[in-house]
A and B are shown apart, each in its own frame.
Chain A
Amino acid sequence: MAEQDWKEDKKAFWAVSASPLLWTVLFFLLPMSFVWLYSFGSNVGLTEIEISGTLDNYKRATQWLYLSIFLKSFGVAAIVTVLCLIIGFPVAMALTFASEKWRPWLLLGIMLPFWTNLLIRTYALMIMLGSNGYANKAMGWLWDGASWIKTLVGLQPLPTWEPVQLLYNNLAVVLGLVYVHLPFMVLPLYSALDRLDKSLIEASLDLGAGHLRTLLKVVVPLAMPGVMAGVMITLIPALGAYLTPDLMGGTESQMIANVIERQFKRANDWPFGAALSFLLIYAMFILIALQGLRRKNGKEAH
């Protein structure tokens, strides 16, 4: 459908675009440019910041200490994304092939947590994982069961169950992020699978392929755009996650967002925090650009 040249109806154009454009400039671009400028500044005195054009903040950010946190954040985000994909893909399949009666309810089941407050969900998971929480209880119960079976067959019982530390470590952060981001992954996967012409799957079966081969050769390649969308929609927020590592992580499981927060709320080194922020934003841009490139290549190959 042809778009209208804005000059043909200037009054209507300005009527709809003035406010959002002004808002974006004033309350988004301006604040972001402050951060950008600050990243080239340095602290003089307690509250004064001089924007001197120095690159010191960026130099400091590339020290191994901070670089390793960046890499670690990437690693955690990548693991979380892969786990979400592995857990979410069968869920999306189940949604796609569910009967008409069940599908809306399953969909609602996946969506409701998505609408529930993030903090509350993290807190709820923390209760489960606490050293006296139900996760530990369940494991202890399984342990006792295994021990009991061993005595049944005449072996030495297992030593008594000691509650494990499930919270405040890297594992807790990964688990928490998977818990929070799973719905983000499932929804784009589901919408890609739902759009897939079911007769393609039938054609593959009809030509003699088994279900596994059909999945690998037909379903996954054709659902690739949805997989990529799901990966991006999970990877990006996971990379910048603050709350989960803050509440569920230990001292060694801090991610980049926690380091940024510390510069502003505790260390009071705003210029350095600004530099880290922009490095994180650049990392996002690179990810998105890579994804865009991939998509373009994919199109040309066809």
Chain B
Amino acid sequence: MALFNRTPRAPLEYTRTLWMRLWITSVLMFLYAPLLVLMIFSFNDSRRNVVWRGFTTKYYEKALNNDTLVEALINSLTIAALATVASLVLGAMAAIMLWRFRFRFKGVVDGTISLPIIVPEICLGVAMLIFFARINWPNDLIYPFNLGAITIAHITFCFPFVTMVVRSRLASFNKEEEEAAKDLGASNWQAFRDVLLPHMRPALVAGALLAFTLSLDDFVITFFTSGPDTITFPVKVYSMVRFSVTPEVNAASTLLIILTVVLTAIALRLQGAKNISVSH
């Protein structure tokens, strides 16, 4: 962005005004400066995050040799993967139900399904804590079954988001396409598979991305459902931040930020920036 205009500014090119550029630059700095500082200082050869003492990767080694941290990361990714798959299936089904059918108490059902989006995380976390305590959910299972409670909680708050995204995509579906398929001899299932599913695809990709991010991101609900042996990455980082700030956290955080950027890049490759932003 050249700060000095070469061509005169047309009336509606607001983004080219100087104060607008300064505003945008400051906001982006506000958003990114902390993350950049964190990433840069993960390579700093000092225990404090202030003065540069030389380049090192030793905190990455430390982080990767920290068994509980690595285990927490593996747990998080496992949960996110499981929750994404389940949320995708449940969310798509719920979206089709709400889009396709007319039934009694539809308004109530619709509202209830989207309720987990609105209910504060803390309340959902509390509910899950009471629920699993009340039904005596076993917490001595082996991996990956020990992650069951957290995964269930994650699916509960992830799938309504998938429903939302898929439903808004379905609204643009031309039902005549499905009728055309049936007219040409397709069965219900074949029409669904060959016509409706391809139409839903971008929403499914966006929904999967959203569910994965939400699950990987969640701290509060997990905090209430995790047992002593089932630590996830955010919970682990939380306790590290809370009780002993070490550069290991910087290193681990940097790794996760890079993972986010890579995932974003893949998603952009898959369907272009515009679709992703529209579906959020």
Task: Give every chain B residue within 8 A of A38 (Cβ-Cβ).
Answer: 130
Cα-based distance from A110 to B122 in the complex (angstroms): 26
Q: Judging by beta carbons under 8 Å apart, are B123 and A277 in contact?
A: yes
A26-69 vs B, CB cutoff 8 Å, 1 = contact: the mask equals 01111110110010000000000000000000000000000000
Assembly CA distance A115 to B256 (angstroms): 11
Would you call A126 and B122 a contact (CB within 8 A)? no
A162–B131 Cα gap in the complex (Å)?
50
Q: Is B271 an interface residue (CB 8 A)?
A: no
Q: Taking chain B's interface residues, is the majority helix, strand, or loop, or is none over half, making it mixed? A: helix
**A14 CB to nearest chain B CB (Å):** 10
Rank and list the top 6 A-B pairs by shortest CB-CB distance, nearest first: A240-B120, A31-B131, A124-B34, A31-B127, A20-B94, A257-B122
Residue pairs across A and B with Cβ atoms less than 8 A apart, 24 shown, are A4-B101, A12-B100, A13-B103, A16-B93, A16-B96, A16-B100, A20-B93, A28-B156, A31-B124, A34-B130, A90-B24, A94-B24, A97-B12, A99-B15, A114-B280, A116-B257, A118-B219, A120-B253, A127-B49, A128-B34, A133-B50, A240-B123, A247-B241, A274-B126
A112, B220: Cβ atoms closer than 8 Å: no
Stretch at the interface among B60-68, B108-116, B139-147, B197-205: B108-116
Task: Given the known inter-chain contacts A104-B274, A115-B213, please indicate yes or no for A201 contacting B12, CB distance below 8 A.
Answer: yes
Nearest Cβ in chain B — how far from A273, in angstroms?
Answer: 6
Interface on A for B, CB 8 Å cutoff? Answer: 1, 3-6, 9, 12-13, 16-17, 19-21, 23-24, 27-32, 34-35, 38, 87, 90-91, 93-95, 97-99, 102, 104, 106-121, 123-128, 130, 132-134, 179, 182-183, 187, 191, 198, 201-202, 205, 211, 236-237, 239-240, 242-243, 247, 257, 260-261, 264, 270, 273-274, 277-278, 280-281, 284, 288
B234-A274 in contact (CB<8A): no
Cβ-defined contact, A4 with B100, below 8 A: yes
Instruction: Tell me the count of chain B residues lying within 8 A, CB to CB, of chain A.
Output: 88
What is the CA–CA distance of A30 and B112 in the complex, to the nearest angstrom? 12
A34 touches B127 (CB 8 A): yes
Closest to B171 in A: A1
Q: Do A257 and B15 have beta carbons less than 8 Å apart?
A: no
